[in-house]
Structure formats: C-alpha cells, structure tokens
Structure 1
Amino acid sequence: MLEKNQNLRSLHIGECEKLSHLPDELHTLRLLEELTLENCPSLEFIPITTQSQGMPCLRKLKIENCEKLSSWPSGLEYCTSLQELDIENCQNLRYLPVDGLQTLISLEELTLFDCPNIEFIPITTQSQSMPCLRKLKIQNCEKLSSWPNGLEYCTSLQELRIENCQNLRHLPVDALQNHVSLEELYIEDCTNLEAIPSLDNLTSLRELSIWGCDGLTSLPSGLQSCTSLKKLTIGKFHNLISLADVDVSRLQSLFYLQILDCRKLKYLPTGLRSLTSLERMIIGKFWEELDSFPAFELPSQIRELDITGWPKLKSLPQEIQHSTTCLEKLIIYSFDSMEALPEWLGNLSSLIRLNISDCKNLMYLPTIEVMQRLTKLETLRISRCPRLAESSAKEGVPEWHKISHIPNIRGN
C-alpha cells in the first residue's frame, strides 16, 4: 500500500492496540516530512530507513505511548534532515545508539519524556557534534545515571531541561562551560543530585530553575555572572540552610524571583534591594523552628509579593511596610499563629489586590481608618481563614464595617 503513496508528506498512526510491526516499505516514503506514532502499545520495532534508501525529507518524528518498544528506530541515523525528535512514554525503551546521535546534524529539538529505563544518553562526540541542537528536554527518566555524553559540544544549545531523573548524582565539572548561548536551564526533581557545576559562562541565561534537588546543600557558583537572568526559581531544597553567601546585586535584569519551600533555610541572599528590575517575588515556607521571618531586602519597585509562612510565625515581615509606592498585589499564605494584620498595612497606598489564605488563627483586620487609607484596593479575598471569615462575612459582624467599602470581596 505504501508504494502507492509516494507523495505522502505527513503520516499519523495512532490508537492501534494490536499493531506490533510497521511495514518494511516505510523507507520508500522519500518525501515524508512528519511521522507520528502514538498509542500503539504492542509496537515492538520501527524500521525507519536503511543506509541505501532513506527518508531524506523527514523533519519531525514523534513516538508516544508505545510501551513495548525496546529499541531505537532502525536507520534513524540516516535521516540527516530531522529537526525535531520527540519520544514520550516508551516504558520499555532502554538503548539509544551506541555511537550517539551526531549524524542527526540538522536536529534542533530532542525530547525524551517518561522513558524510565534509559540509563545512558550518548549525544555526540568531540569529532562530530550536533551544531543545530537548540532544545534538549529529558524528563521522567528515572534510571538515567549520568549527564548526556558529549552534550558539552552542542554549543548552540538554548534550552536545557533535566527533570525527575532520580538516579542522576554527578555532573561533570565542565558540564555547562561551553553553553554560552544557553537561555533557559531547568534542573528539577533530581533528588539525589549532589552538585551543579559553575554557571560562570552562562551570560545569555534568562531563566534558571533549580527545584526539588534535596541532595544539594548550596546553589551552584557563578550565579552572579548570569547578568541576563530575568527569572530565578529556587525551591523544595530540604537540605539548604543558608543563602547568605549569595550576592544577587549584579542580576540587574531579574524580573521574577521565587525562593520557596526550603525547610531548613535560615538566611536569604544579599543584594536584593539593588535589583531595579525585580517586580514579582514569591518567598517563604522556610525552617519551621523560626519564630520570625528571615531578614531580607525588598526592592522599592516590587509590584507583586506572595509570602508564605509556617506554624510558629506570628507576624508578617516588617520589610513589606516599606513597599509603599509600587506594591499592587499582596498574597499572604499560611501564617498560622498570626491573629491580627499589622496597622502598617495602610501604608501600602498602591495596593489593588489583597489575598489572605490559610491563616487559621487570624481574627482581626487593621482599624477602619487604616483600611480606608487603601484607596486603590479593589479586591479582597479571604480563603480558608475560618476565624476571620466568620467575623467579616456579612454586615453587622465586628470586622465587616472595615471592608464594606471594597468593591470586590471574595471568600469561602
């Protein structure tokens, strides 16, 4: 049948539960540009091409939910026009080409997602690299035990995601040194990773996320060199105690900062006040033995602040009261021991939205005079604060008169 469709440019084979083999004539589709194979749980073998006759026009290949597939598509190395390769949820896939993928000289995007039995990823060698590779995503490959071999030679890389690779422990010291074009770096949920190499040369980096890496006790060195950084996410570090040795003052392009869920953290970075571009900050859920929030500097131009507490905290951090001219959105979450909001809340004259959530002992808002000074406040949301909700839910109850002038009041 395939020999009668020589002009076919796109082929999608899916939802074929009993399909175990593809036809050997697949390689005769010499004009094929896109091939998708998905939800074929019995598929064991994919004959893409042969050395003598291949698919010279194939640009995009996606293989998804083919549970029995255990080997790399045969002849794929001869598809030198391939630009996108996406392999997802192939539970039995164990082996990639021993010689690496360097023959895929046009490859720009490579995704390996939910392939838990892959242990080793040979990308390339020094003698022959992948000059076009821009995006590499490796996610949910639980047995992966080493950094992709030869990745340091892919100097055009712009986006790198390594996520939920539980067996990954060590990275080469120079793993990131050649990636001067890298713009996005995500290393997340690699719980046994012990260290991340220096970021010294990542001057083009715009987004950095290090999340859920319990084996780390410190951030990688060289963060101050990432002067193009706009978004920084740090979180779920259960062995990180201090960030006091991290000076972020050179990150003048930083727009978004998140430091969240670090259960032993006692000290925050220095230099925050000097970040003139920082407008949104998410911070909190630190060491539960602290009875006050760690001291930190809040930039005067901050517009959105989400702050999360823990059971022993009885008050909001004092630093917030100095954000009088720009702060438009304030989210207060999980300050369990706080019974009243501070009177200095009235100094936040630019506040438009105030969310208060999961503060189970909170009973009192500031005085009516203070609340009426918040002339720009349009939305107040009170969620899962049972004691405050009872007293402010309707007219005639003690706290209602303090907020009845606010146009939009929400709660549950």
Structure 2
Amino acid sequence: MLGMNDWCVDPSCGNLGENVDCCSLTYFSLSCSRLTSIKLQMWNLPALEELQISRCQFLKSIIGQSGQVLRSTSGSRAFPSLISLTILSCSKLWTIDDLLAEEYLPAIERILIESCGSLWSLPDERFGNISSLRDLRITDCRRLSWKKGFLLPSSLQSLTLNNCGDISAWVPSCLKNLASLVTLRICMCRHITSIPGSLWTTNLTSLENLLIWSCPDIVSIGGENAISEIQNVSIQWCYKMEDLKQPVVR
C-alpha cells in the first residue's frame, strides 16, 4: 500500500486503472494513453480529495460491478473524502454512470466533465441527490442524451452547460430550485427557445453572474427588466433573441 499524498501518472503507465490502493493519497492525476477501463471495485483511496482523469485517449468506461456501488475491503465508501472530480479530454469514454453515484461521492463539491466527445449518458437523475455539490461544469460533450431528465441539487452555486447535448426539455425546469446559484453559463446549447423572465426574480434570487452565448434557437429570456438585478451579464450571438438588443455586457 502506497503512503504518498500526491500522485501524477504519465502516459506510459500501462493499465493502472485495474488496481489502485493507497490509504493516504489526497491528490491523484491520471493521464494514461494505454488505459482502456477503470474498475472502481479495484480502487481504494479513502483519503483522496481531488481526482483528475485527463487525456486517456483509449479509456472507454469507468464502471462498478453490475451497476452496484462497491465498498473497499475495510467497509468504507470508495471515495469518502473526494471533493473535486475532473474528467478531461477522454475522447472515447462513453459511460461514467457508476462513478457519479451519490454513494461513491458523499462529499463531492465540484464536478468538471469536458471534451469527452463519445460520452452518451450521465446519471442525470442522480445529480439532484448530491447534496454537497457546489460547482457543476459540463463542456463539449455534444453526444450526451438527457432522456431520463436533468435534476440539480439546491446546493449548487455555479453551473456551466456548454455544448452538452439537447437539454431543451429540461430548461428552465432544472433551474427552478437553484436559490443558491451565483453563476450560470449556458453556451452553444441548441433547441432551448425561452427562459421565462419570472425565473430570474423568483427562483434564481442569488444569481450574480449570467452568461448566455451562441444559443441559436433562444428567442426570449424575459427582456431587460427581468435581468436588471443581475450584476454581471454577458449575452451574445443568440441571433433569434427578440427581447434584447445584443450584445448585452455589464
């Protein structure tokens, strides 16, 4: 069993994702060109606070066993201390559903998923159960399907949705319980047509930063008066929008 606090793995590591056991590791950066899968039942990292999986170009899946959350041999949760999770530029990755179970990540505060072009599903209905989540960013994952819904926890303070598949069926409904949200970024999201003006003043009462860019189908967000109380606003390149003259920058 390893006893280090920080661990970075280079691209020649082999299929290290098969077995990682370290009782004191707090930071783990994994970038491995040979890695094809990560089997969570083989990982035991009880002290891990930050996990970054990046540029694993042949990684296809991050899975548990039969869809069930597994526990380590000591009986503790798989990642009881994990605060920050980043998955970046894993072009062939298609599923991470098991990893995002609340039972795996009881303390998670930040989730960033970016540039995973083959990713087709997220456990959309589970996000709403992660009561510790503060920051969620999903960027450049254009094949994502949200057929099961998109629920978000009321604890969320920052949300970025950028080119992440068709979420139009769940916007604005997914935003209605986010009274703690401070920052909202919506970019390159097709098929969203409108956000009612009442949302900004009734539901998103803590919002200070609003960015809406390059949403080609959005027609209305309620007009200038609806967003007048938001301190920092940037709305640009939404060419069908009728109730605002763009760009809006303040």
* TM-score, normalising length: structure 2: 0.81
Distance 1:173 1:74, change over 3 A: closer
The answer to whether structure 1 residue 248 and structure 2 residue 217 are counterparts is: no
* Equivalent position to 1:82, from 24, 28, 48: 48
**DSSP 3-state at the match of 2:117:** coil
**DSSP 3-state at the match of 2:128:** helix
Q: What are the equivalent positions in structure 2 for 1:75-114 lying under 5 Å apart?
A: 77-98=43-64, 99=68, 103-114=78-89
Distance 1:205 1:169, change over 3 A: same
Amino acid at match of 2:111: L
Corresponding residue for residue 93 of structure 2: 118
Amino acid at match of 1:36: C
Moved over 6 A (4+): none
Q: Distance in 2 between matches of 1:92 and 1:237?
A: 31
Q: Distance in 2 between matches of 1:246 and 1:171?
A: 32
Task: Return the offset for 1:223.
Answer: 4.0
Corresponding residue for residue 263 of structure 1: 239
Q: What are the equivalent positions in structure 2 for 1:120-269 lying under 5 Å apart?
A: 120-122=95-97, 123-125=99-101, 128=103, 130-148=105-123, 150-170=126-146, 172-173=148-149, 175-176=151-152, 179-190=153-164, 192-195=166-169, 196=171, 197-219=173-195, 222-224=199-201, 225-244=203-222, 248=226, 252=229, 254-268=230-244
Task: Return the offset for 1:69.
Answer: 1.4
**DSSP 3-state at the match of 2:145:** coil
Amino acid at match of 2:24: C
Corresponding residue for residue 73 of structure 2: none
* Equivalent position to 1:55, from 22, 27, 50: 22
CA contact (8 A) 1:119 1:144 kept: yes
Task: Return the offset for 1:104.
Answer: 0.9
Q: Distance in 1 between matches of 2:9 and 2:105?
A: 25
Task: Return the offset for 1:68.
Answer: 2.3
Task: Return the offset for 1:93.
Answer: 0.6
Distance 1:47 1:67, change over 3 A: closer
Find the structure with the greater CA-based Rg: 1
**DSSP 3-state at the match of 1:152:** helix
- Measured against aligned partners, the alpha-carbon deviations of 1:167-216 in whole angstroms (never above 9, x if no partner) come to 0132644511xx12211000012254433342121111100000111232
CA contact (8 A) 2:40 2:62 kept: no
Q: Distance in 2 between matches of 1:192 and 1:174?
A: 11
Distance 1:237 1:47, change over 3 A: closer
Corresponding residue for residue 323 of structure 1: none
Deviates more, 1:230-239 or 1:209-218: 209-218
* Equivalent position to 2:246, from 284, 293, 309: 284
CA contact (8 A) 2:234 2:249 kept: no
* Equivalent position to 1:37, from 9, 24, 27: 9
CA contact (8 A) 1:242 1:265 kept: yes
- Measured against aligned partners, the alpha-carbon deviations of 1:139-182 in whole angstroms (never above 9, x if no partner) come to 01112222336333211000000001110132644511xx1221
Identity %: 26
* TM-score, normalising length: structure 1: 0.51
CA contact (8 A) 2:233 2:249 kept: no
- Structure 2 unpaired stretches of 5+: 71-76
- Structure 1 unpaired stretches of 5+: 1-27, 269-282, 286-304, 308-412
The answer to whether structure 1 residue 46 and structure 2 residue 21 are counterparts is: no
Amino acid at match of 1:182: L
Task: Return the offset for 1:226.
Answer: 1.1
Corresponding residue for residue 395 of structure 1: none
Q: Distance in 2 between matches of 1:228 and 1:211?
A: 20
**DSSP 3-state at the match of 1:72:** strand
Task: Return the offset for 1:73.
Answer: 6.3
Q: Distance in 1 between matches of 2:42 and 2:48?
A: 9
Amino acid at match of 2:142: Q
Alpha-carbon RMSD across the aligned residues, in angstroms, is 2.8
Amino acid at match of 2:38: W
Task: Return the offset for 1:137.
Answer: 0.2
Task: Return the offset for 1:235.
Answer: 1.2
Distance 1:80 1:44, change over 3 A: same
